């Protein structure tokens, strides 16, 4: 069987502080990506300029800059990138994602089984303490969610996911646009895939780094973020109680994780001050 070509799609809006590290990690892979597509969505900062500079610095890498200027929003920007990707497998990460060096290689392994139509994996929070412990905890958390959901659904995680181009072509016109921005766009994709019995595989070796900046949200904003699960299920008329598992898990980790991040921020600042003395 021919090894599938993997495209990486990165929606971006005002991501000048993180897009360079994201692209460097995407470039330095044990198996090169077929293409690395950044879709700029009306950024008002230097996001597009940094991508253009990266194209000059890494001419051997297929870094592609696209602009989605018709409408503001993650979902239409994501869709634009997926529609323009030419690989057999369409990876989708965030602009603050930092892929592990073997991510593309692991994606290819996850799709060796032709029955797998989409795959997702755990994340390591690179701006939190005890990163490797955090990776193990994240992996256990996601496997727990699968068990609690009785494996009725496997959940895609938007910061670290991939799907066959053929699967995207099946669901692309059905995926919700979510103009009110109330849902989890990755869970929406998961449910549309499930509607067509397109299998999602959880692949623990498919690891991406991401920022824990979500923990900077107030408890009220974080609650709104987590309850997007419920609104997504309601939009799909899904009422299975087992699917409440992600909400329960995400609520339970908020305050301990927020405390760890605060301690890490203070320690980092103190170290920086001592280094500058």
- pTM as predicted: 0.82
Confidence (pLDDT) at 183: 82
Number of neighbours of residue 246 by Cβ within 10 angstroms: 23
Residue 138's domain comprises 6-210
Q: Is residue 124 part of a domain?
A: yes
* Beta strands in 4-97, from DSSP E residues, in sequence order: 6-12, 35-40, 63-67, 89-92
- The count of structural domains within the chain is 1
Confidence (pLDDT) at 182: 84
Q: Is residue 23 part of a domain?
A: yes
Cβ burial, residue 185 (10 Å; 0-12/13-18/19+): buried
Confidence (pLDDT) at 219: 67
Which own/partner contact pairs does 240-243 have at CB distance under 8 Å and 24+ positions apart? 240/149, 240/152, 242/148, 242/149, 242/150, 242/152, 243/149, 243/152, 243/153
The stretches in the chain having pLDDT less than 70 are: 1, 128-131, 133-134, 148-154, 212-219, 221-222, 224-225, 239-277
Q: How far is CA 22 from CA 12, 51, 151, 179, in A?
A: 11, 10, 32, 27
Q: Is residue 51 part of a domain?
A: yes
Q: How far is CA 91 from CA 3, 74, 86, 141, 196, in A?
A: 15, 15, 11, 22, 20
Q: CATH number for the domain including 189?
A: 3.90.550.10
Q: Is residue 178 part of a domain?
A: yes
CB 119 within 8 A of CB 110: yes
CB 148 within 8 A of CB 79: no
Q: Is residue 94 part of a domain?
A: yes
Write the pLDDT tens digit of every residue in 157-170: 888 999 999 999 99
Confidence (pLDDT) at 235: 80
Confidence (pLDDT) at 277: 55
Q: Is residue 232 part of a domain?
A: no
């Amino acid at each position: 069987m021919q090894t599938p070509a993997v495209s990486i799609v990165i929606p971006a809006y005002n991501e000048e502080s993180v897009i360079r590290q994201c692209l460097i990690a995407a470039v330095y892979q044990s198996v090169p990506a077929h293409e690395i597509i950044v879709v700029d969505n009306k950024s008002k900062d230097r996001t597009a300029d940094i991508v253009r500079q990266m194209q000059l610095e890494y001419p051997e890498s297929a870094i592609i800059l696209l602009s989605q200027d018709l409408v503001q929003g993650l979902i239409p920007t994501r869709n634009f990138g997926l529609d323009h990707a030419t690989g057999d497998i369409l990876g989708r990460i965030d602009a603050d994602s930092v892929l592990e060096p073997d991510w593309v290689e692991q994606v290819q392994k996850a799709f060796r089984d032709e029955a797998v139509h989409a795959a997702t994996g755990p994340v390591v929070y690179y701006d939190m303490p005890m990163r490797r412990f955090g990776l193990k905890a994240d992996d256990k958390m996601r496997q727990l969610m699968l068990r609690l959901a009785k494996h009725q659904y496997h959940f895609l995680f938007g910061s670290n996911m991939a799907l066959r181009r053929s699967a995207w072509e099946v669901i692309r016109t059905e995926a919700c646009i979510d103009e009110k921005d109330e849902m989890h766009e990755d869970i929406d994709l998961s449910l549309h895939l499930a509607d067509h019995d397109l299998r999602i595989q959880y692949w623990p070796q498919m690891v991406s780094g991401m920022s824990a900046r979500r923990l900077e949200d107030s408890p009220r904003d974080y609650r709104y973020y987590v309850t997007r699960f419920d609104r997504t299920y309601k939009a799909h008329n899904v009422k299975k109680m087992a699917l409440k598992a992600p909400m329960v898990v995400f609520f339970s980790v908020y305050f301990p994780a927020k405390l760890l991040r605060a301690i890490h921020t203070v320690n980092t600042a103190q170290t920086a001050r001592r280094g500058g003395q």
